Structure 1
Amino acid sequence: MIRIMLADDHAILREGIRAILSQQPGMQVVGEAGNGQVLLELLATTPANVVLMDVNMPVLDGFATINLLRSRFPEVRVLVLSMLDHESYVYRMLQAGALGYVLKNSDTTEITYAIRTVAAGRQFLCTEIGLNLLYRSVQHQSVAPEAAEALSAYRMSLHRNDAIELSGREMEVLKLIAEGLTNAEIAEQLFASKRTIETHRQNIIEKTQAKNTAALIRYAMSHGLIE
């Protein structure tokens, strides 16, 4: 039985992960913590094999926590579960002693496989991080143009597969937003009311979880929704 401790400051995420892992054979969530300090306190009284831990946490973040955790509980394996995908975060956590790094947008199969891999004492990087690192290394090395082009195309296809689904009208609105049109101008072009366009725009933002128009355009381009 793999005994798992969850550390994330978002309670709803912990609940979701606990629900997923409760359905996996040979896995048991033995505790939850909203920050690194609480995690260390729990580990002092509750044995665990694997800690599934975020990087951004209050009181003690992932960087501070993992250093203390490795010194106090060296037998516990750490798997990072985070939205931070930049290589600097990945390198720092792995160098500090984490055995694996998984993004929060990974699917259930990959997360559970990562837990089993780390519990067995082996290293793990999720597919998206591995491809991103490989893609960046290709950009800084002399490789055959067709190889770089193929890797880029494959990377874009993965993003398209991960993209959320927009309705036909939402796609029309998104493309016009990318062209810099205002809600009023979009309404006029699509023969709709301004209020209707505002609703479509809000739905798009909620689906993509973009904080502003610039973030929305970046999301749409990186996932192949617009050129």
Structure 2
Amino acid sequence: MIRIALADDHAIIRDGIRALLVGEADLQIAAEASNGRQLLELLAEIPVDVVLLDINLPEMDGHEAIRQLQRHYPGIRVLVLSMLSHEEYVTRVLEAGALGYALKNVSRDEILFAIRSVAAGRRFLCTELGVYLLHRLSKLGDKQAPGEEKKPPVLSRRETEVLKLIGEGFTTGEIAEKLFTSKRTIETHRQNIIEKTQVRNTAALIRYAVTQGLL
């Protein structure tokens, strides 16, 4: 039996993960926390094998929580489940001690595979991140020929949807309503897009998207 602790400040995310595990005889939700500090307090009393951890947590964020887990509970494996897809975030949490990283838009089968892989001590990176990082590595390995146009970054389907709505002039709140999600999630997508495209602000992002044919 793989005992799991969920750490996410959105109850709907915890409910969704719990629903995904229904019927999985080898997986059990042993604890739930809405921030990193509460997670550590629960782990002092409840034994778990794997922690599913969001990075953006109140009181104690995911990065510090991972460091504390490594210090006090080195036997617990950490799988980060986040909306943040930039390689900087992935690198930071893996260097801090997390064993896996998955985006919150992964399929049910992939998250189940991720949990079991991390519980077995194997590193895991979700498919979308793996493809994106391979794309980044291939760009670094290829020398751009004179006059060759720079290819646009690889955006996820949801990031592309958000980008199009930004380009159409919708506010963060309006985009959140259209996509049936929270303002915070849309802001995370916006930040991911800005970092992937390496622009400074939303206005520059729209100009970039138009010139690259993303809009």
Give the drift of 1:71. 1.1
- Please name the residue that 1:89 is paired with: 89
Report the counterpart of residue 41 of structure 1 in structure 2.
41
Deviations 1:95-142 (A, max 9, x none): 111100000111111111000000000000001111111111111112
1:207 maps onto 2:179 in alignment: yes
Does the CA-based 8 Å contact 1:22-1:29 persist in structure 2? Answer: no
Give the corresponding residue for 1:16.
16
1:111 aligns to what? 111
Give 1 or 2: higher helix fraction: 1
Higher Cα radius of gyration:
1
The 3 A distance-change label for structure 1 pair 141 and 55 is same
Determine the C-alpha separation between the residues in 2 that align with 1:124 and 1:78: 10
In 1, the alpha carbon distance for the partners of 2:175 and 2:72 equals 47
Amino acid at match of 2:123: Q
TM-score for the superposition, normalised by structure 2: 0.72
Tell me the distance in 2 between the aligned counterparts of 1:44 and 1:137.
41
| TM-score of the pair, normalised by structure 1 | 0.69
Distance verdict in 2 for CA 1:203–1:76, change over 3 Å:
closer
Q: Mapping of 1:1-227 within 5 angstroms?
A: 1-142=1-142, 159=156, 206-207=178-179, 210=186, 227=215
Distance 2:141 2:177 in 1: 37
> Which structure 2 segments of 5+ residues have no match?
146-150, 191-201
Q: Secondary structure at the match of 2:80?
A: strand
Secondary structure of the residue that 1:140 maps to in structure 2? helix
Offset, 1:75: 0.8
| Alignment size in residue pairs | 185
Distance 1:162 1:61, change over 3 A: closer
Q: Displaced runs of 4+ in structure 1, greater than 4 A?
A: 159-164, 202-205, 208-212
Aligned CA-pair RMSD: 3.6
8 Å contact kept, 1:79–1:100: yes
Is the contact between residue 34 and residue 57 of structure 1 (CA under 8 Å) also seen in structure 2?
yes
C-alpha spacing 1:24/1:71, structure 2 compared with 1 (3 Å): same
Map Cα deviations across residues 55-87 of structure 1 (whole Å, 9 max, x no partner).
010111011111111111111000000111111
Three-state SS of the structure 2 residue aligned to 1:112 is helix
Q: Which amino acid aligns with 1:11?
A: A
